Homo-oligomer: A and B are copies of this chain.
Amino acid sequence: MSEVDAQAKSGLYEAFALTGKALASGKRLELLDLLAQGERTVESLAKAAGLNLTTASAHLQTLKRAGIVTTRREGVRIHYRLAGDDVARLFALLRKVAENHQATVSTARDAYLGGDDTAEMPRDELLARAQAGDVLVLDVRPIEEYWAGHIPGALSIPVGELSERIEELPQDTEVVVYCRGEYCVLAHEAARFLTDRGRRAVRLHDGMLEWRLAELPVHVGEPA
C-alpha cells in the first residue's frame, strides 16, 4: 500500500470515527435515547438528562458535527432530532452489542431496572391480544413522547400521574405497559406499581424504539 493510500485510508477511517466518537459518551447516549422518542428542545433535553444547559448544548453540537442529529428553529427555540432511522437503529444495536458482550452492562441494567420481577410480553403477542381486545395497552412515557408517536389504541398515563389516575384503568382487564425501549425504567416502575395495587399488569419486553424499528404501526398525535 502506497504512502498516499495509507493517508487516504486513515482519512476515511477518521471520518467514520467521528460517528464513533458521537457514541463515546454516556451523556450523549442518554440524549440519543431521549431523541429516539421524538424531537426536543435543548432546554428540555438538558433537564431530562440532568445536565447543565451549556454542557447539554456542547454534547448536542458534537452529535450535530457527526451528522447524526439535525436541528430546526422555531422562534427562539431550537429543536433537535435524530437525522434518520438508521441512527436509531445504530443506537439500538450499540446497546444490544454492549449487553451481549459486556458483563458490566447486565449488572448496571439490573441495578437500574430492579431485577426482572414483573412479567413481560413480546411484541407479537401484544399485537395479537390487542387486536382481540383482550388487553389494554398503556403508554407511561411523558405525554409529549406519546404525542410524537405511540402504539395505536394505547392509553397515555405518564408514570408520575399513575397514582392519581389509576381509576381510568378498568379493574378486570389485563394491562400491558410500555415505555421508551428495552432499557427504559418507566414501564418497570408502572408495572410494579400496578401489580402492587392488585392489578394484572405485564410489561412489553421492549418499547417504542424497537416497535418503530420493527416497522409496526405507529399513531402520531392525539388518540383517534
Q: How far is the CA of A14 from the CA of B27 in the complex (A)?
A: 8
A224 within 8 Å of B (CB atoms): no
| Chain B CB within 8 A of A58 CB | no
Let me know if A108 and B50 touch, CB within 8 A. no
Given contacts A11-B111, A101-B67, A112-B9, A94 and B26 within 8 Å (CB-CB): no
CA distance A15 to B108 in the complex (A): 8
Q: Mark A157-199, 1 if CB is under 8 A from B, else 0.
A: 0000000000000000000000000010100000000000000
A-B contact pairs, 13 of them (CB 8 A): A8-B111, A11-B112, A12-B105, A13-B27, A13-B29, A14-B26, A16-B29, A16-B94, A17-B25, A19-B101, A19-B102, A86-B96, A93-B93
The answer to whether B86 touches A100 (Cβ under 8 A) is: yes
Contact (Cβ within 8 A) B112 A5: yes
User: What is the CA–CA distance of A25 and B23 in the complex, to the nearest angstrom?
Assistant: 11
Q: A30-B13, A90-B93, A112-B5 are in contact. Are A19 and B84 (CB under 8 A)?
A: no
Given the complex of chains A and B, what is the CA–CA distance between A29 and B10 in angstroms?
Answer: 10
Main secondary structure of the interface of A (DSSP, over half): helix
A21 at the interface (CB under 8 A from B): yes
Over the window 103-142 of chain A, the binary record of Cβ atoms lying under 8 Å from chain B Cβ atoms (1 yes, 0 no) is 1110011011000000000000000000000000000000
How distant is the Cα of A109 from the Cα of B13 in the complex, in angstroms? 9
Instruction: Tell me if A83 counts as interface (CB < 8 A to partner B).
Output: yes
A67 contacts which chain B residues (CB < 8 A)?
98, 100-103
A16's partner among B10, B20, B90, B95 (CB-CB below 8 A) is B95
